[in-house]
Structure 1
Amino acid sequence: MQLDFSIVLGYWQVLLKGLGLTLTITLGCALVGSLLGFGLSLVQLAPSRLLRAPVRLYVEFFRGTPLLIQLFWVFFCFPVVFGLSISPYVSVVISLTLFMAAITSETFRGALKSIAGEQHDACVALGLSPGVKVLYVIFPQALLRAIPPLLSNVISLFKESALISSVGVADLMFVGQNLSNSTARPVEFLSAVAVIYFCIAFPLTRLVGLVEARLLRRFAY
């Protein structure tokens, strides 16, 4: 078999469209999941065990089970259990958001625990309400400390999003598989897909190290 990677150039628009969907789903789920994860981290630090226990169970479940199983469960079982008909796109958004919320909650929990107790005491001394304290004092500091692991979580979510092709969502991986099957050129197209994932993930990975080394170590502590 003779390899001919030039054939990929003829389908660059299709691959770009699949990449656009992958990035849209990744960024959307990362944003919503991170906000939800911050809320879950606050609950995990609550004094009430009744509040902490179900959240802890949720976090450990989604961190301890494969994302592929979570995708399949939401796609196949969610309509049966709840009697709702959902599209594949909605099912993957639900799955990835819940997964992102679970892993980012641990990131924020560690960041929140690193905030000095004097910050909380100062808020009490100033008479700040709990909502104002969380929004204007705790959240900015926790976010600054959590930036490197949050970026790492987004990169992981971007790479894991290739699994959504298994439920028929036309992301980059799905497009690459279809093109490789229709053209009988799996090496060329799957290699091209791998290169695209790498070209996006690798610079972001380097960015994480740069942010951690040059910004957080100087200003966060």
Structure 2
Amino acid sequence: MPLDFSVVLNYWPVLLKGLALTLAFTGICALLGSLLGFVVSLLRQVKTPLLRLPLTLYVEFFRGTPLLIQLFWVFFCFPVVFGLNIPPYASVLIALTLFMGAITSETFRGALKSIASEQHDACTALGLTSKVKVLYVIFPQALLRAVPPLLSNVVSLFKESALISSVGVADLMFVGQNISNSTARPVEFLSAVAVIYFLVAFPLTRLVGVVEGRLLRRYAY
């Protein structure tokens, strides 16, 4: 069968719906995971082993195991272990958020360590509470330093999200696979899916360089 990429145009609206779901999962899990990662990075600095050790195990587990296994574990094992009926969409949100939280916690941990000790001493001298210090002094500086790697994490999450098709979620990859199977044209549709992923991810990777070059060099200290 000769190649005919024009057939992709007939299914373009369906592919865009899959892309919209992929972007929705990426955005929601990136936001929730970044907030989780910041909290985890803060709690890992405490000197209490009973709190620090479980969080360290969580981070190392999700950073050291494939995301596909994490998706399968949440999707298939959570209902058995915890006796909960978790729908596919919820299991994907849980798995991607935990994965994003683990990798961003290391990003924030490095950013927090880069803040000079004089900043903490100044907060203590001014009599600021821990909540005020974290929200208005530490967090803004840590976020500024963490922006480039955080954007890189978001790009990685967007690309890794193609794995959620393995649990039956109708994202871009799932839609592309189904159409290629039903039309017997895998080259055309899988190539179109690859191009769509590239068109979304490439500008984000360029944005990382722009932010790092133009913003951090001017405002980070």
Asked if these proteins are the same fold (TM beyond 0.5), I'd say yes
Alignment partner, residue 155 of structure 1: 155
Offset of residue 49 of structure 1:
2.3
Distance 1:39 1:33 in 2: 10
Q: Extract unaligned runs of 5+ from structure 2.
A: none
Q: 1:147-186 residue pairs with structure 2 within 5 A?
A: 147-186=147-186
Alignment partner, residue 43 of structure 1: 43
Q: Aligned with 1:2: secondary structure?
A: coil
The total of aligned residue pairs comes to: 221
Alignment partner, residue 133 of structure 1: 133
Offset of residue 47 of structure 1:
2.1
Offset of residue 50 of structure 1:
2.3
Is 1:108 paired with 2:108? yes
Give % identity: 81
Cα-to-partner distance string for 1:49-69 (whole Å, 9 max, x where unaligned):
222111001000000000000
Distance 1:200 1:46 in 2: 39
Offset of residue 217 of structure 1:
1.6
Amino acid at match of 1:218: R
Q: Aligned with 1:25: secondary structure?
A: helix
Q: Extract unaligned runs of 5+ from structure 1.
A: none
TM-score scaled by length of structure 2: 0.99
Offset of residue 41 of structure 1:
0.1
TM-score scaled by length of structure 1: 0.99
Alignment partner, residue 200 of structure 1: 200
Offset of residue 117 of structure 1:
0.6
Q: Aligned with 2:169: secondary structure?
A: coil
Amino acid at match of 2:80: V
Distance 1:150 1:2 in 2: 43
Higher deviation after alignment, 46-55 or 86-95: 46-55
Distance 1:145 1:45 in 2: 18
Distance 2:87 2:16 in 1: 23
Q: Aligned with 1:46: secondary structure?
A: coil
**Cα RMSD between the aligned structures?**
0.6
Distance 1:175 1:220 in 2: 43
Distance 2:162 2:195 in 1: 13
Please list every run of at least 4 consecutive aligned residues from structure 1 whose deviation after the TM superposition is greater than 4 angstroms.
none
Offset of residue 92 of structure 1:
0.5
Distance 2:39 2:47 in 1: 15
Amino acid at match of 1:12: W
